[in-house]
Amino acid sequence: MIKEVKTAGAPQAIGPYSQGMVANGFVFCSGQISLDPKTGETVGDTIQAQTEQVLKNLFEVLKEAGSSPGRVVKTTVLLQDMGDFTEMNKVYERMFEGFKPARAAFAVKTLPKNVLIEIEAVAIV
């Protein structure tokens, strides 16, 4: 059985996809960007501020799915500039409270709404 995850605590999808899907004991979270869930506007203009908002949004999707940051098995981080990697890591480590899921990180040419970062995750429910 597959169940869609929907929460007002994270931005609504800006395309034909879900915030997340629960299947076989896992939640697959779509990539989150640094949008304010209430206004739909980008939060912050630094990698630190945007990473924090992205993870807040992602954690809301996890919560709605019945999971939590400490149950994340894998994340994928998309950065507009690998020069932001070190500063992103500082916020990422703080927000995950030292928990270290498996991760991949890539630099990409552009991201939706020209944000600096996008993060997706897979977690146990």
> What is the domain range of residue 102?
2-124
pLDDT per residue as tens digits for the range 19-78:
999 999 999 999 999 999 999 999 999 999 999 999 999 999 999 999 999 999 999 999
Domain count of the fold of the chain: 1
Residues 6+ positions from 81 with CB-CB distance below 8 Å: 107, 116
- The CATH number linked to 7 is 3.30.1330.40
- Average pLDDT over every residue of 98-110: 96
- Of 11, 65, 14, 16, the C-alpha closest to 34 is 11
Q: 14 pLDDT band (50/70/90 cuts)?
A: confident
- Would you state the pLDDT for residue 15? 86
As given in the structure block, the two tokens for residue 9 are 């605590």
Q: Within 13 Å of residue 69, how many CA atoms lie on the same side as its CB?
A: 17
From CA 85, how far away is CA 69, in angstroms rounded?
20
